Amino acid sequence: MTTNRPKIRVASVINRKYLAFRKLGEGGCGVIYEVAMAETTVFDEDPTLPMEHKVIQKLNEKNSIHCVELIEKGQSENYQFLVMTLLGPSLDAIRSTLGPTNKFSTYSTLVIAIQALDSLKEIHEIGFVHRDVKPANFAIGTLGTPKQKLLHVLDFGIARQYLVKDGTDGGLRIRKARRIVPFRGTLRYCSVAAQERKEQGRHDDLWSLFYMIVEFVKGTLPWTGISEEDKVIVMKEDVTELYNGIEAECAMFAQHLSVLRYQSKPDYELLRDLLMNVFIRRNLNPHMKVDWEKGGRYESHFEKKTATLPCVTEKDMTEVDLTKILNVPGAEKNITMEQILAAGKMTEGDEGLNTAQDDTIIEEEGASRPKSHPNATTPSETSTTSKKTKRRYIARTPSVHKVELIEKNWKKKQEEAQREKILKHAIAARRTKVDMVVPEDNTIVKRKTATTTTTTSSVEEATGKKASNERY
């Protein structure tokens, strides 16, 4: 199955309101453009965008500081679109500029990890698991602004709702785990359970975060570059090399996750305290500079690598209080291995959940009640029609063949995205001295910096407004 990409080019007008300035990126779940306000005027069958909108909307309702602001959604002749605030580079893009080691400093790693943990907790609290936690799906605020220290979580296209309404009392319950689950995620960062085609829970997102932390500290993971799933699983299960060279608290972080199951609630406060213990013991403070900002560890190298990026014409200079965001305690907390293991034990309420293999939908009779034969008689019909009986429908599990087909298509999309990424890196290497526009046909057209200024000015004159940089 192939997905038709939106027919959008640089200078295309979206929804009679947004002028596409620059293509920022493309992946398996869609295409991202930088847009500006303009005044002027199919459907892509992509099931990921409605999920993206749903999660972002719920996070916005909770006033999450780690989520982009949703500005508008809509639909054109052959595509759907979301407009959201423009962010800075992803953690993946930043790490690739930090020299040959690709390492973050301990301070930057902890600032990232603590905020990432908080953002995943917010997603879990609204009833979703992300299922594709990786550096490319976290981005900082716009470079050169106070928000460049603030981390944002992105790309909810393959998120899954794990909390659903219980038909018995209207409350929420944990969704039943499926027996056969197509693979979702990225091989390098996904949990072992995800590779084994098990239903992903909250702890699986945190396993991916743990692998990110190790990669940031050591520069690489033991299985980086290996595409054979069986080999990756073996290396993920052999924790000797994984734990070597990292703080003891990080190993305890993983040990807590190892005792959790699909329906278990991670102890987020315990995991945060583990990271904070390292922060305090290393005498770090929120006023220090992160690696990529002016005065940071890799300031000169990072500025050189990003010097050719187009400038943002309108910047949000709202102050970001990292002291309040990190909320560093006054002293280390004594955390024992007994606490690590006890936190993962099942409660009495958890034991009764998810015993079935498949999703179970409970609905009231009447909405889809089967029709009876006209000559049939129903004893005591008058006494039973007033009662709201419950009917249980067991969702069919997809066949193994269908799951394999889904995974094959998914892998194909990932390979296409990887080829696109390699191509973009090659093009970027040729843009070190000249600013260029790269249309979707991958032909390179040189343009002068003045052209960008003229285009921006023309939009401002047509609208009478400043061009506000937003993300599509």
Active site residues: 132
Rounded CA gap, 6 and 20, in Å?
Answer: 12
CA distances from 465 to 37, 318, 457 (A): 8, 21, 10
HSE-CB at 210 with a 13 A cutoff on CA atoms is: 28
CA distance 114 to 253: 12
Q: Which structure tokens are listed for 195?
A: 């590779």
Q: Are 85 and 468 in contact (CB under 8 A)?
A: no
DSSP string, 184-208: -S-TTTS-HHHHTTPPP-HHHHHHH
Provide the phi-psi class of 63: left if phi over 0, else alpha when psi is between -120 and 50, else beta: left
**252 vs 264: CA distance, rounded Å:** 17
Sign of the C-alpha dihedral computed for residues 270, 258, 209 and 102 taken in this order = positive
Instruction: Give the dihedral sign, CA 422/427/433/437.
Output: negative
DSSP single-letter state for residue 380: T
Show the tokens assigned to 377.
Answer: 């008689």
The DSSP bridge partners found for residue 35 are: 20, 470
Tokens of 130: 């992300």
Q: Which residues pair with 423 in a beta bridge?
A: none
